[in-house]
Structure 1
Amino acid sequence: MIFSKKRVCEFSFMFLVLAASIAALARAHEVDDEREFSYDERSGVGPSRWGAIHPEWEHCNSGKMQSPIDLLNKRVKIVSHLGKLKRSYKPANATLINRGHDMMLRWTNNAGHIKINGTKFHLRQCHWHSPSEHTLDGRKFDMEVHLVHESDDGRTTVIGVMYKIGRPDTFISMLKPGFEALREVKDIEKSIGVVDPYLVKFGSRKYYRYIGSLTVPPCTPNIIWSIVRKVRTVTREQVHLIREAVHDTLEVNARPIQRTNGRSMELYRPSDPKN
């Protein structure tokens, strides 16, 4: 049987996703206390040293499928078989948590899920990095939010949305009282009531897909990444609001770009405009 080159590429990526699914049976939790590492290389525990802090963090320095990466247009395959990112989210109680270098919004009960390759991934939390961790053709943006999902068998998938300076982001505007409350005190956690995850707007059906890792220790590999193609807007004040709530004295909390090591990168573009 002879397959077209396009079909072979599709099979190759499906095999990558299947391999990642099998390999990632251990739960890929980001650390809740980030004070053991830094984003400042001068500290001695900066990104180039993360893998030496704990044996279980070794992937941070030795892993071949690390994130973030630069999404180069000349390297990206345009496909339509991946399917739309269908979110089945619902409002749920949430807590804002200062992890030491970023602010995390954790939903404390069922906030819904997305489906990838027939598997349900439940929404657990989102957190913010500034500037953006991923880049588009080498261009870095002002902020990036990561929505972290987990399946019942412990696999992890992350949706990333990048932002440039412009009009206010409505989701951050809604969370402003919580950020301000944490900015004024040294508390690390604040319950903020019911939060609707649909308020994190995508604005586009197009997205990049690749297999990478967590971008904070333990840098666990075999994470399915979906990066929304549209770059949304946020005000400079909103970026500063989130950073000031952290109290870590750093101006940035973005891991440097990692090597792609020949990984496949795809851009989903629906073949049917109504899809």
Structure 2
Amino acid sequence: MGLDDESEFSYVEDSENGPSNWGKIKPEWKICNSGTMQSPIDLLNERVEVVSHLGRLHRDYKPSNATVINRGHDMMLRWEGGAGSIHINGTKYQLKQAHWHSPSEHTLNGKRFDMEVHLVHESKDNKTAVLGIMYKIGRPDSFLSMIKQDLEDLVDTPNVERAVGIIDPKLIKFGSRKYYRYIGSLTVPPCTQNIIWTILRKVRTVTREQVKLIREAVHDASETNARPIQPLNQRSVELYRPRDQEDN
């Protein structure tokens, strides 16, 4: 779901393998430049339709054996067994992995936050659904506190996958029933489209040290690993809000 060779693309904006040139690096990546449904996007309030028909986000996660790997452009936590699933439009998407971007890739009304985690899910017929949670600087995120040592151990060992025992994905807190929903793409090459994106409305908190750990572990030339905002084009963005009587 991303690349193993870290030198193939970068986040350095004006470099020849930077984000605006990703589509030119390999023929199979051309959609990164030509695609009309690319991610991330700005979740601008006036473009968003508030709906209740999408229904509550049902996640049915369970603890499972996991590994952590420094992929050279990000840190990834991968669940080996069945770590459970989310259900979208009657389809079950199994949780596969989580990885972090800093600053956030998605923005709210043009505002970028300090970090974003992506929980990547796949259905039996290989469709992908990604759940994103954004973070601003504040109190520590308990999930990152829990795996701090595992991340620190990988700082100097890119591309080595290390078993970290059983990790419960339910410990990645949501904190809100409200979420944005739109159809987009992977945010790294090959930038595959028709990905169902769900971004939680609540911006959670993380400490500066936690963001620094996620970033410093990845020895690339860039200070960041967030792709620039892509044009919305003709897409709709929905914001699910429970009807008042069932609100938090």
Query: Is 2:27 aligned against 1:51?
Result: no
Shift of 1:271: 1.0
Structure 2 CA distance for aligned equivalents of residues 273 and 206 of structure 1: 14
Query: Is 2:141 aligned against 1:169?
Result: yes
Query: Is 2:72 aligned against 1:72?
Result: no
Task: Please name the residue that 2:76 is paired with.
Answer: 104
Residues 75-94 of structure 1 deviation map (CA, whole Å, 9 limit, x = unaligned): 10000000111110000011
1:73-92 matches, within 5 Å, as 73-92=45-64
The AA in structure 1 aligned to 2:77 is L
Contact 2:70 2:155 (8 Å CA) reproduced = no
1:135-150 matches, within 5 Å, as 135-150=107-122
**1:40 paired residue among 12, 26, 36:** 12
Q: What is the Cα-based RMSD across aligned positions, in Å?
A: 1.2
Task: Please name the residue that 1:262 is paired with.
Answer: 234
1:207-246 matches, within 5 Å, as 207-246=179-218
Task: Please name the residue that 1:15 is paired with.
Answer: none
The AA in structure 2 aligned to 1:51 is G
Contact 2:41 2:231 (8 Å CA) reproduced = yes
For residue 149 of structure 2, give the secondary structure of its aligned residue in structure 1: helix
For residue 183 of structure 1, give the secondary structure of its aligned residue in structure 2: coil
For residue 112 of structure 2, give the secondary structure of its aligned residue in structure 1: coil
Shift of 1:112: 0.3
Higher share of residues assigned helix: 1
Identical positions, percent: 70
1:11-50 matches, within 5 Å, as 29-50=1-22
For residue 237 of structure 1, give the secondary structure of its aligned residue in structure 2: helix
Task: Please name the residue that 1:18 is paired with.
Answer: none
The AA in structure 1 aligned to 2:87 is K
Task: Please name the residue that 1:250 is paired with.
Answer: 222
Shift of 1:274: 2.9
The AA in structure 2 aligned to 1:193 is G
What residue ranges of structure 2 are gaps of 5+ in the alignment?
none
TM-score where L is the length of structure 1: 0.87
Query: Is 2:168 aligned against 1:196?
Result: yes
Distance 1:106 1:186, change over 3 A: closer
Shift of 1:251: 1.1
Q: Mean alpha-carbon deviation: is it higher for 98-107 or for 242-251?
A: 242-251
Greater Cα radius of gyration, structure 1 or 2: 1
Residues 124-169 of structure 1 deviation map (CA, whole Å, 9 limit, x = unaligned): 0010000000000000000000000000001100000000000000
Distance 1:246 1:188, change over 3 A: farther
Deviation >6 Å, runs of 4+:
none
Structure 1 CA distance for aligned equivalents of residues 102 and 219 of structure 2: 14
For residue 217 of structure 2, give the secondary structure of its aligned residue in structure 1: helix
Q: How many residues align?
A: 247
What residue ranges of structure 1 are gaps of 5+ in the alignment?
1-28
Structure 1 CA distance for aligned equivalents of residues 63 and 168 of structure 2: 4
Shift of 1:184: 4.4
TM-score where L is the length of structure 2: 0.96
Q: Mean alpha-carbon deviation: is it higher for 252-261 or for 31-40?
A: 31-40
Structure 1 CA distance for aligned equivalents of residues 30 and 243 of structure 2: 41
